[in-house]
A and B are shown apart, each in its own frame.
Chain A
Amino acid sequence: MSNNGETGSATVLEVNNLKKYYPSVKAVDDISFEVNAGEIVSILGPNGAGKTTTIEIIEGLRTKDEGEISYFGRFKEVNNEVKNRVGVCFQENSFFEDLTVSETIRLYKSLYEKSLDTKELIEIFELEEKVKTRIRHLSGGQKQRLAVALAFVNDPDLVFLDEPTVGLDPHARRNLWEIILKFKSQGKGIVLTTHYMDEAQQLSDKVYIMDHGNIITAGSPQELINSSGLESVIEFPEESSALFEDVIIAGEYAYLHTRDTVSAIRKLLESNVTNFVVRQPTLEDVFLKLTGKKID
């Protein structure tokens, strides 16, 4: 494992010039990034940006055309040693429906050389009451928590979480954020792909925004917001978008990024548009500005 000299900053994943071309599309076009231990890295992008292909290549589920991937500074391919140190939670998770929660955890534990204690894992993910429940009888949220728990079952050093909080209520989402941050504090490198911009903003140390197979920008959420040049965002109904030149329309709303907030508000009020919101820019605004699309 390479080390940058600081405790907890060992590089657990390094991707260089990764390419994956299909006949009609460049799914991944020469991208590079790295993930350090104790770091959460988010990969964001609209549908078809190449996020999933990138992650699946790194997970060893797809072949790459070109480029180099280094796991833990030592391994160039996904061998069993790498698999023992990597946890994966897919966006769509499936289980053996007739096994109980504890049987499922025991099954996946048995497949790895090392593992977390079953009881501890069940407590962390608040599945105590469902230990003897068959998977088919779990709710969507409970299944999602179990899926994330299975990503950590082998006490991995590198974890891929693809939409880990989909299907969870706001309370459960925040609980899961806390769990993810706790694992991060234990030195695990986490790669997160999410559609929730607030999630990426809250959890990520670094964000990579992808579009058309390329990384179009990278940095910490705050760096991205600061470097975007956005001062204020005014959000108002799409039917009034003709009032301004540089508005981004996404769904029923138009988004105006401006430094001259007062003039913009005056213009809206003069046009009898009163249902608008003025707020500080977020990662979502950066995303919107860069890709021109609101994440679905």
Chain B
Amino acid sequence: MKKYLVLFKSLFKELFLTSKDSVFWLTIFPTILFLILTSIFGNMEENVQFRVKILGDSEMLKGILDNIEQMDAEFIQDYSQETIDALKVELERDNIDAILVLPNDFDKLYSTSLLLRKTFLFRQVPVELYDVPLRQSSAIASDVIKGIFGSMDVPENVGYEVHNLSGEQYDYNNFIYPGIIGMTIMSVFLCAFMSYLIYFRRKKILRKISTTPISMINVYLTTAAVNLIALIIGLCGLSVVAYFLGVDVVTYLPSMIVHTLIACGVLTMMTLVVMTFSSNSSGLFVFQQVFLQIQMFAGGFYFPLKVLTPFIRKLANFLPLTYTVDGIRSAKGLNSLNTNHYIVPLIYLLLSTLIVLFRSRKLTVLQ
């Protein structure tokens, strides 16, 4: 055990404490990235499509809504008070932007009101509209619906009953925090970890160590442990800043710990797998860059998966860190995937561990 402690201490000093680059990239940069992204996108709404649930039926409204691209309206004809209550919860959670409740025979009532509008028999058609005014998308969706009624000849024919709910404002800071965690994990366990191993291999330090009784796998794992400590330090700094910017760090913490540890294991073993196949530094570098770029842009780190193209969304399903970031987001209900967040990363972990064990000799012997 002592040898691992000495090795850990030496590697920690070599790779982290005495390296200004490492301190910057692993601990300071994630915080800077977080500040940059929140300052650029912090006031932006996440989507440009308004998700509206309409309880009731209206051929007239369907005809109008079909021509408004930004409206993603779904009509629910059979509903009860429970349906309304459930949808209100969804509205508060930002899963939908507005709820419109129409009376039975809306189209007939509306036509009647038009005919009788100048008589004492005239009655407004009562509709109920639920929105969350604090949230920009909900407020706009609500205005669009009012605008639709406004365009239907005589606006006063429809009497609104507007229900303002107190759902949370869409918060990019809370959304982006898990994305930055994912990015930091990749910075540490894909870029830094792999770069260290490339550096050790190129400088032939590993060759010297391989002549000692310590197992090379344990050297790699000790290097990974050093990176884990660097990652924890980086995430602590990020979390403190995020906390003061209103991110619900405490709610995120349990899922962050679990998903981060799994992701670190996955990337460590994937790096070792690549090392068993590629003996030159350029091969490792190519893998590092390709994986990093694909995972970063297709994995829903900075934007919700639903705004990505269908092909990219499908691709994201096969990437392990998509589940890490989305899994952490699920603690706040901001997840895009409703599948199990552990299966895919654990499959990656299992397969890569098996490959490393099977090809472990490739990590020690020159050919």
Contacts and interface: CB of A to CB of B under 8 A. Distances in A.
A99 B18 CA distance: 9
B12 to A, nearest CB: 11
Contacts of A62: 365-367
Contacts of B207: 61, 90
Contacts of A173: none
Contacts of A252: none
A216 interface: no
B204 A94 contact: yes
A108 interface: yes
Contacts of A98: 13-14, 18-19
Nearest to B205: A94
Contact of B6 (A60, A88, A110): A110
Interface residues of A, number: 31
A99 B203 contact: no
Nearest to B214: A111
A249 to B, nearest CB: 35
Per DSSP, chain A at the interface is loop
B203 A103 contact: no
A90 B366 CA distance: 14
A50 to B, nearest CB: 15
A94 B212 CA distance: 15
A90 B210 contact: no
A113 B213 CA distance: 9
Nearest to A56: B366
A282 to B, nearest CB: 33
Interface in A59-96: 59-63, 80, 83-84, 86, 88, 90, 92-96
A56 B366 CA distance: 9
Nearest to A113: B213
Given A62-B365, A99-B14, A106 B6 contact: yes
Contacts of A111: 3, 7, 209, 212-214
Contact of A83 (B13, B14, B213): B213
A88 B208 contact: yes
B2 interface: yes
A106 B3 CA distance: 10
Interface of A: 56, 59-63, 80, 83-84, 86, 88, 90, 92-99, 103-104, 106-108, 110-113, 150, 154
13 contacts: A59-B211, A61-B207, A83-B212, A84-B213, A94-B208, A99-B13, A99-B14, A104-B10, A110-B6, A111-B212, A111-B213, A111-B214, A112-B212
Interface of B: 2-3, 6-7, 10-11, 13-14, 18-19, 203-205, 207-214, 365-367
Given A61-B211, A106-B6, A154-B212, 11 more contacts: A61-B207, A63-B367, A84-B213, A90-B204, A90-B208, A93-B208, A99-B10, A99-B14, A103-B13, A108-B212, A111-B209
